Amino acid sequence: MPPVAVPYFLARPSAEPPWPGVVVCLEGYGMDQWLLRVCERLAAEGYAAIAPDMFARFGGSNRDVGPKHFMALKPEDALADITECVGELKRIGAAKVGVTGFCLGGRNTYLAATQGAPVDAAAGFYGAQISKVLAEPSCPLLLLFGGTDEYIPPDEIAAVEAHHEGKVIVYSEAGHGFMHEGNEPDTAAANDAWPKLLAFFSEHLR
């Protein structure tokens, strides 16, 4: 298999393969240090974690123009990047591969689970407009939202809950981006969600 075309950040576990892998999808502003630390945290838990810079096709992640790239990224291009990175993880030793992501990455995680990307589990955080593309997942699915998310109205979250009964967690007091370091009011939600993410991946990828 040739090397992937999309640039990526890779964090490997200290143990030798095989190990499970996770594709980590960027937020609307693009890749930043926090996203790389998510990969490093997953590697510390025994997962090979790869984060593709999906905005490379626009010149690379740049927070100043992230919202413009957010709107320009086509779902099919995001899914192609995810698929390439799944292949890269398997090439270097991953047995099973999951996908997670935040904001834009949460939506792309959902699309990966419902539009045929070769992933074994999908856990998406606060993906917007999922209610407009509801479908059946081809792998185990977990979706996490903040109940006071200013970008995702409660009726949208309710529609997702109704369609994916038992697969949605809503933190009633949390806003958008509650997993991102620095959002101090939402620390409690982040502290609860991280072990739930690990438990979900442990169940379906190990």
Query: Tens digit of pLDDT for each residue in 139-179?
Result: 999 999 999 999 999 999 999 999 999 999 999 999 999 99
- Per-residue pLDDT tens for 117-132? 999 999 999 999 999 9
Query: 71 exposed, middle or buried (CB, 10 Å; 0-12, 13-18, 19+)?
Result: exposed
Percent of the chain with pLDDT over 70: 91
Task: Say if 1 falls within a structural domain.
Answer: no
- Strand ordering across the sheet containing 19-25: 8-11, 48-52, 19-25, 94-102, 121-125, 141-146, 168-171
Task: Say if 100 falls within a structural domain.
Answer: yes
Respond yes or no on whether the N-terminal peptide bond of residue 18 is cis (omega within 30° of 0). yes
Task: Say if 2 falls within a structural domain.
Answer: no
pTM of the full predicted structure? 0.94
For residue 165, CA distances in Å to 59, 80, 143, 157, 169 come to 40, 28, 11, 12, 10
Q: What is the CATH number of the domain that holds 55?
A: 3.40.50.1820
Q: For the chain, what is the domain count?
A: 1
Domain hosting 176: range is 8-205
Distance, CA of 125 to CA of 36 (rounded, Å): 16
Question: Mean of the pLDDT values across residues 66-83?
Answer: 84
Greatest mean pLDDT among 5-9, 24-28, 54-58, 139-143: 139-143
Task: Say if 93 falls within a structural domain.
Answer: yes
pLDDT at residue 66, as a whole number: 57
Mean pLDDT of the chain: 92
Lowest mean pLDDT among 107-111, 152-156, 183-187: 183-187
Question: Mean of the pLDDT values across residues 87-104?
Answer: 97
